[in-house]
Structure 1
């Protein structure tokens, strides 16, 4: 699955984690492949399954 970086940054900010949101904005590509970028997501405290559950189809690209 691919997810827009902006949706991940927005999710982190909504949780009050501005530092991680800034880190995600700097380090992640514009489109995140949940399989390819699983390690980077993990460093941000996110799992692909959680992202899909929290963002639903609104943040998904494919």
Structure 2
């Protein structure tokens, strides 16, 4: 599932603070793929499966 980077960064900002969110903003691709980028998401203490489930299993519009 692809998720806009901004959504992922905001979730990190809410859970982990501004510093982690700034790092994620610099490191994540514009379109985060929960499968391809799973290891990177885990570095930011995000579970790729939970992230996808939190969106109801539907990929949000990715421009």
Which TM-score bucket, shorter chain as reference? 0.7 to 0.9
> Could you state the TM-score of these two structures normalised by the residue count of structure 1?
0.80
Deviates more, 1:15-24 or 1:38-47: 15-24
Residue 59 to residue 5, structure 1, CA distance change in 2 (3 Å): farther
Partner of 1:35: 35
The aligned runs of 1:18-57 (5 Å cut-off) are 18-54=18-54, 56=55
CA distance in 2, matches of 1:61, 1:2: 9
Residue 16 to residue 36, structure 1, CA distance change in 2 (3 Å): closer
Any unmatched runs of 5+ in structure 2? none
In angstroms, what is the RMSD of aligned CA positions?
2.1
Q: Which structure shows the higher helix fraction?
A: 1
Q: Within the alignment, does 1:17 sit opposite 2:13 as a pair?
A: no
